[in-house]
Structure 1
Amino acid sequence: MKILLPTHDYPPARGGVARYLGAIKETFSEEVDVLYWKELPGRLAMFFEILREMKKYDALWISHILPIGTVAWLTSMINRKPYVVILHGMDFDLSRRNIWKGWLSKKILKNAQRVVVNSKALAREVLEFGIANPLVVYPAVSDAFVESSSFISKQKSDQIRLLTVARLVERKGHLDVIEAIKNQKNINYTIVGDGEMRKEIENKINSLELQDRIQVLQHVSDRKLPELFSQSDIFVMPAKKSVYDREGFGIVYLEAQLFQTPVIAINTPGVNEAVGGGILINDISELKNAIDKLANDSNLRSTLGKKGRDFVISDFTREKQMSKLKVLL
């Protein structure tokens, strides 16, 4: 069976969706061909390109319900070839933003061969939307990260080292972490990422005169991330849901746990399925206590770190998760 996967979110692009689709291609290298656009084409151009390309394929897998899902639905009515929709969370939220989008999205999903979701929480939302039998396929850590984690050991330090790896946007909680540790002189904090909040974060660091304890690294390659994870004592990303965005799962929590780094996250649907070795807090008001608890207890960090690694290795490797898609072939 030959499958076409059209997308504008694919490696070398960074982020959870790109990594998810990259893992699909790596697992099904013979069956799946990726049609990659640096930028989404217009609706009409996309329609004719996919319709033309589908002459060579048996099925279409799409990861963007709007607008690519619309094209998948329309082309399937012409060529009678099945399509699969992969949902990640925020995309599903946006697809129901108004009555028209909600109607269109339900048509797309109901006519799909199968709907794939990245968490049990999202599966429940899809079921409530009237779509039967969603298939849960979690994001997975890369083979390269698993290999690195087997020979990179934790490094000790006199300071407690916090780490966040995320886009620099408000809902990821960087400013909340800075506020929580501003008076904790034994805690250093490394922020990896770039985005619209970079200047505000840097200004906050400067205004509090924390340049000696907090650093912002804009560009870090995937090859360097294992070293950062292993050097850190705590991974913290108190991501909140915003009007237009949410953390559907959070593969970066898995990556941190793979290197025996306990994590702190807010207990939200989807995210709570990604944390097996760490502390789930109910809201930002509990963040400082959670950081203090882990910072002051090396035994707890070690216990949670080992628990987190076992959690990831047992269920979240690429082969373990992506092989679930074999039922669609």
Structure 2
Amino acid sequence: MLILQNTSKQSPLPPIPKTRSLFILTHEFHPQKGGIATFTEEMALSCSQQGFKVEVWAPGNGGKPSDKPWPFKVRRLDMKGTQDIPCLVTTGKEIIENRRDLRQASVYLPEPGPISAMLYLQLFHAFHPDKLYLTFHGSEILNYYAKLHHRVLLKKLIAKAERISAVSTFTHRLLLSRFPEAQHKTVLTPCALRSDFVGTNHRKIENSEKVVILTVGRLHPRKGQSFILKTLNLLPENLKAKVEFWMVGNGRHSDYQRELQSLVDQSEVTVKMLGQLDDTRLREVYEQADIFAMTSIHYKKSIEGFGLVYLEASAYGLPVIAHNIGGVPDAVVHDRTGLLVPPGDKQALVQAFIDLIEKPELRKKLGEAGRLWVSKYRWDKSVDMLFRRKELVILS
């Protein structure tokens, strides 16, 4: 059974009273980059816009004032924002010290960091929030299930939750396969474009000499940049001369970075490693690209739960090439907004690149469809499903 968003027309819901307090606890928040940080920030913004009295507990930002005018309170905690023990302890101490306030409020744990802290805090009867909400992204489900004590504790936490959300149909199925207790209280809350996202109607001139293939993401084995580099070397010789591959992102995985550099040095196509870019420069790079590609894989217990970057690429009018894996099919529709390839099928991946390099009309068709596709994802819909709807929409 899948619990999905109801797409039928419904009458507007009454506004939420301003007195309804919502504490959002997170280890990933602005100015941190990444899908989970964006998800948490945008859910907080949308909750605030829909009438919640929001307070976010987030990692410190080096004592610097935030460069964003938040419409809600942000309490910066003395932690770096990881899932290591010191961060869990810091979150736990804050919860205990503020337990009286939290008892009268709703508490939302939008990612694995605070969920891990709450696994143990729930054993103390002194802390019970009025309502508890959880969101799962993918990889953490496998990690919790792998250890018996985490598995038992998460089942208890799920039982106490008012409602739970998953960011994709894949994550939803994964959650129910490991923790079926969540079945009757889980909804979908997919990612959407950032509220400050600035797209463009400008598209690169199609008769440009070079076809620019762009990838944006952490330099990490799960993101699969190495597959693209290897695949481009298998293109016909006439296409190799026509292609440029641009990589945006940085990483801490030194072995993988050395592998990428070795592949770049051996590459028969032009490769530009652009590093981490600010939003203005990234927008310029998107505008110069012809194709977006990110061939994610499952790496150990790390999986692609959704992939917000695919939506961003589609919003810029770029056709997408990706692996048909994890939550990617929720963001990329095969033969409509991009081309999905089974992981490990080298020939299919080569052919996908050939098709989009040689067929500008296909690039245009998929790119234009992508612009329309991303508009279906909205943060207010996700907030509505998680916090406001009394009924669950259950479909076979």
| TM-score over 0.5 (shorter chain) | yes
Distance 2:298 2:128 in 1: 39
Q: Give the structure 1 partner of residue 107 of structure 2.
A: 60
Q: For 1:293, give the aligned amino acid.
A: D
Q: Which moved more, 1:66-75 or 1:219-228?
A: 66-75
Offset of residue 51 of structure 1: 2.3
What does 1:100-111 align with in structure 2 at a 5 Å threshold?
100-111=149-160
Distance 2:373 2:125 in 1: 40
Distance 1:101 1:225 in 2: 40
Distance 2:56 2:124 in 1: 17
**5+ unaligned residues in a row in structure 1: which ranges?**
none
Q: Give the structure 2 partner of residue 269 of structure 1.
A: 326
Q: Give the structure 2 partner of residue 31 of structure 1.
A: 53
Q: Give the structure 2 partner of residue 172 of structure 1.
A: 223
**Gap change, CA 1:209 and 1:233, over 3 Å in 2:** closer
Distance 1:17 1:298 in 2: 34
Paired residues, number: 323
Higher helix share: 1
Q: For 2:166, give the aligned amino acid.
A: V
Offset of residue 5 of structure 1: 1.4
Q: Secondary structure at the match of 1:247?
A: coil
Q: Give the structure 1 partner of residue 365 of structure 2.
A: 303
Q: Give the structure 2 partner of residue 115 of structure 1.
A: 164
Distance 1:2 1:170 in 2: 40
What TM-score results when the alignment is normalised by the length of structure 1? Answer: 0.91
- Pick the aligned partner of 1:230 from 278, 287, 294: 287
Distance 2:292 2:264 in 1: 19
Q: Deviation string for 1:15-34 (max 9, x for gaps)?
A: 11000001012112352211
Contact 1:89 1:247 in 2 (8 A): yes
**Gap change, CA 1:201 and 1:54, over 3 Å in 2:** same
**Gap change, CA 1:77 and 1:96, over 3 Å in 2:** farther
Q: Secondary structure at the match of 1:164?
A: strand
Q: For 1:304, give the aligned amino acid.
A: L
**5+ unaligned residues in a row in structure 2: which ranges?**
1-19, 60-79, 391-396
Alignment of 1:289 onto 2:351: yes
Distance 1:253 1:162 in 2: 14
Contact 1:142 1:317 in 2 (8 A): no
Offset of residue 322 of structure 1: 3.6
Runs of 4+ with deviation above 6 angstroms: none
Q: Deviation string for 1:219-238 (max 9, x for gaps)?
A: 21133322222221111111
Q: Secondary structure at the match of 1:79?
A: coil
Q: For 1:55, give the aligned amino acid.
A: R
Q: Give the structure 2 partner of residue 203 of structure 1.
A: 262
Q: Give the structure 1 partner of residue 243 of structure 2.
A: 187
Q: For 2:374, give the aligned amino acid.
A: V
- Pick the aligned partner of 1:14 from 21, 33, 39: 33
Q: Which moved more, 1:77-86 or 1:255-264?
A: 77-86
Q: Deviation string for 1:150-192 (max 9, x for gaps)?
A: x441112221110111111112111111111135111101101
Contact 2:122 2:128 in 1 (8 A): no
Offset of residue 80 of structure 1: 4.9
Q: Secondary structure at the match of 1:78?
A: coil
Q: For 2:306, give the aligned amino acid.
A: F
Q: Give the structure 2 partner of residue 140 of structure 1.
A: 192
Q: Give the structure 1 partner of residue 73 of structure 2.
A: none
Contact 2:99 2:127 in 1 (8 A): no
Q: Give the structure 2 partner of residue 318 of structure 1.
A: 379
Q: For 1:214, give the aligned amino acid.
A: V
Distance 2:41 2:297 in 1: 26
Offset of residue 77 of structure 1: 5.9
Q: For 1:34, give the aligned amino acid.
A: V
Contact 2:141 2:174 in 1 (8 A): no
Distance 1:31 1:328 in 2: 18
Offset of residue 292 of structure 1: 0.7
Identity rate, percent: 25
Alignment of 1:47 onto 2:92: yes
**Gap change, CA 1:295 and 1:43, over 3 Å in 2:** closer
Contact 2:107 2:129 in 1 (8 A): no
Contact 1:126 1:134 in 2 (8 A): no
What TM-score results when the alignment is normalised by the length of structure 2? Answer: 0.76
**Gap change, CA 1:142 and 1:75, over 3 Å in 2:** farther
- Pick the aligned partner of 1:163 from 201, 205, 214: 214
**Gap change, CA 1:225 and 1:89, over 3 Å in 2:** same
